[in-house]
Amino acid sequence: MAQAEWWQGGVIYQIYPRSFMDLNGDGIGDLAGIAARLDHLVALGVDAIWISPIFPSPMADFGYDISDYCAIDPMFGTIADFDALLAAAHGRGLRVLLDLVPGHTSDKHPWFRDSRSGRDAARRDWYVWRDPAPDGGPPNNWLSEFGGPAWTFDAPSGQYYLNIFLPEQPALNWRNPEVAEAIAGVMRFWFDRGVDGFRVDAFENLVMDAAFRNNPPNPEWTPPLGPARSLLGQHTKHQPELVAIAQAMRRVAAEYAPERLLIGEAYGEPEEVVRYYGPALDGFQQPFNFQLIGLDWTPAAVAEVINEYEAALPPGAWPNWVLGNHDRGRIASRVGPAQARVAMVLLLTLRGTPTIYQGDELGMENVPIPPDRVRDPWEINVPGHGLGRDPVRTPLAWEEGPGAGFTTGTPWLPIDTRPEVCVARQAGDPASMVAFTRRLLALRRAESALALGAVEVLHAGGGVLAYVRQAPDGGPRLAITLNFTGREQPLPEGLVGELVLSSRNANPDAGAPLAPDEARILRLRG
Ligand code: NOJ
Ligand code: CA
């Protein structure tokens, strides 16, 4: 293999800035807070942080509604705080990725204020405006991800504008080259400051059907899926024009040396998502792979996902894996706390770049949110479907005590203050989840088989998943064996080797049966 890029062997850590560390006591995390806690990330052993949006925003969708792409929201600090954080991170060998939200702005963004000022406005066509249907209703049946129609009526001009998310998040018109140029300018603004890359928000929703055709009904829809899933995304998601947009964004990243990293957020089938690598690997270096989110937690289902995704990858494309983020239930709650280590081993030993969501290294679980503390507009608009994202966005607990070392004020969301989930307690305990995650990351760094090697699934059944990672150039082979059950399971046949790591705190015999919920890594002989 040619010299690997840093992000191929590297590990990314997602920071949800409102909930990482609050230094000024207003109950909301801030940039100075992140800078103050970088040691945790260095001790953990990650290579890069991706910070969810920190730009000026009315916070209708907690920063995913941006009113100025080239500044910092005062809630998070100043541009000087940002520069200081970037320098501090770089000084510790951590790369910094920001969140690029190209699909929509805030309705308070000057671009949209101009656009809605009248049909002749200079930027009218920067957003998606349509005449009403003949009955005066929305132009077609498209639905907002967050409930209700995807169209908002603007009485003064007599037209509707498109909002794939909240009405406070009007969709930009990517068929207008001026929009593409403006967003390229945003990328350059941050790249010029030294940012190492972007995670690109909601990429599958960036362009809509040019003819505005209705979406067909989803035959598999049942109410728990939420109303937006009652239609298929045929004309609103994964449109063919997106590949050229990924390529154009990549050209901007390639203006810089070293080239900057682009990670595209797109939910879809493997064959839809891998298109964004680009036909000549000239699109996103990493279209996010969410196949592990929302699958049945069984060896067979995970093996199928590994094989399907590996088969769908274009030749030479580098894979990536995600277990959780600020939008989806906590992994420890989805699979149960006893399986959290098995899940972490899976994430950090599959072939590809892993992204760890903040708090998963502590085994954080979804935190119940009392009705009077619900903040997520999705839960407020579409209550009762379990769509609310507040439970996965609660602050990190750093220390024991009421503000958990996160804040001296009132936290914006409740904190899980059980002593066993806080960083200080876990860092001092070699048997903790965080200590285990550090060992695992150190092993990943030391073993090229784990960082860069090939993968082969050997066994998926009887509650056990086993796969082998083979170091480049015929180097060592490591077998990863995962017990998905709470019962002892025999080790798959033929796996003879030395123990490298076990998720149990007492070291088992390399060849002993797997203990309940055990993950074990062996160095294979020969
Ligand atoms: C995906 C982001 O991850 C999510 O938090 C946000 O609400 C939507 N995109 C809209 O920007
Ligand atoms: Ca703060």
Q: Which of 165, 263, 379 to mutate to test the pocket of ligand 1 (most atoms within 8 A of CB)?
A: 165
| Ligand nearest, relative to CA of residue 171 | 1
Q: Which of 64, 98, 145 to mutate to test the pocket of ligand 1 (most atoms within 8 A of CB)?
A: 64
Kindly give the number of the ligand 1 atom that is closest to the alpha carbon of 146.
7
Taking the centre of ligand 1 as the mean of its atom positions, its distance from the CA of residue 163, in whole angstroms, is 13
> HEC string of 237-292?
CCCCCHHHHHHHHHHHHCCCCCCCEEEECCCCCHHHHHHHHCCCCCCCCEECCCCC
Nearest of 30, 138, 15, 40 to residue 81 by alpha carbon: 30
Kindly give the number of the ligand 1 atom that is closest to the alpha carbon of 104.
11
**What does the pLDDT read at residue 225?**
81
- Asked if 154 is an active-site residue, the reply is no
Q: What is the DSSP string of 440-469?
A: HHHHHHH-HHHHH-EEEEEEEETTEEEEEE
pTM greater than the 0.85 cutoff: yes
| Residue having the nearest C-alpha atom to atom 10 of ligand 1 | 64
**What does the pLDDT read at residue 1?**
46
| Residue having the nearest C-alpha atom to atom 9 of ligand 1 | 202
| Ligand nearest, relative to CA of residue 26 | 2
- Asked if 473 is an active-site residue, the reply is no
To which H or E segment does residue 166 belong? Answer: none
**What does the pLDDT read at residue 385?**
85
| Cα distance between residue 324 and residue 288, in whole Å | 11
| Pairing outcome for strands 477-483 and 497-502 | unpaired
**What does the pLDDT read at residue 186?**
99
Q: Which residues have any ligand 1 atom within 6 Å of their CB? A: 61, 64, 101, 165, 201-202, 326-327
**What does the pLDDT read at residue 207?**
98
| Ligand nearest, relative to CA of residue 395 | 2
Q: What is the DSSP string of 348-365?
A: HHSSSEEEEETTGGGT--
| Cα distance between residue 81 and residue 91, in whole Å | 15
Give, as one character, the DSSP assignment of residue 193: H
Taking the centre of ligand 2 as the mean of its atom positions, its distance from the CA of residue 448, in whole angstroms, is 40
Give pLDDT tens digits along the chain (526 positions).
468 999 999 999 999 999 999 999 999 999 999 999 999 999 999 999 999 999 999 999 999 999 999 999 999 999 999 999 999 999 999 999 999 999 999 999 999 999 999 999 999 999 999 999 999 999 999 999 999 999 999 999 999 999 999 999 999 999 999 999 999 999 999 999 999 999 999 999 999 999 999 999 999 998 778 889 999 999 999 999 999 999 999 999 999 999 999 999 999 999 999 999 999 999 999 999 999 999 999 999 999 999 999 999 999 999 999 999 999 999 999 999 999 999 999 999 999 999 999 999 999 999 999 999 999 999 999 988 888 999 999 999 999 999 999 999 999 999 999 999 999 999 999 999 999 999 999 999 999 999 999 999 999 999 999 999 999 888 999 999 999 999 999 999 999 999 999 999 889 999 999 999 999 999 998 6
Residues 6+ apart with CB under 8 A from 394: 19, 364, 367, 411, 413, 414, 415, 416
**What does the pLDDT read at residue 226?**
84
Q: Is residue 166 within 8 Å of 60, Cβ to Cβ?
A: yes
Of 178, 255, 269, 271, which is the active-site residue? 255
Taking the centre of ligand 2 as the mean of its atom positions, its distance from the CA of residue 76, in whole angstroms, is 6
Taking the centre of ligand 1 as the mean of its atom positions, its distance from the CA of residue 29, in whole angstroms, is 19
Domains identified in the chain and CATH numbers: 6-105+176-440 (3.20.20.80), 110-162 (3.90.400.10), 454-524 (2.60.40.1180)
Q: How many Cβ atoms from other residues are within 10 Å of residue 274's Cβ?
A: 21
Buried b (16+ CB within 10 A) or exposed e, 416-433: bbeeebbbbbbbeeeebb
**What does the pLDDT read at residue 2?**
62
Kindly give the number of the ligand 1 atom that is closest to the alpha carbon of 101.
11
**What does the pLDDT read at residue 20?**
99
| Ligand nearest, relative to CA of residue 407 | 2
| Cα distance between residue 398 and residue 426, in whole Å | 10
Q: Which of 99, 169, 327, 358 to mutate to test the pocket of ligand 1 (most atoms within 8 A of CB)?
A: 327
| Residue having the nearest C-alpha atom to atom 11 of ligand 1 | 64
Q: Residue 329 carries which side chain, given as an amino acid letter?
A: G
Of 61, 81, 201, 518, which is the active-site residue? 201
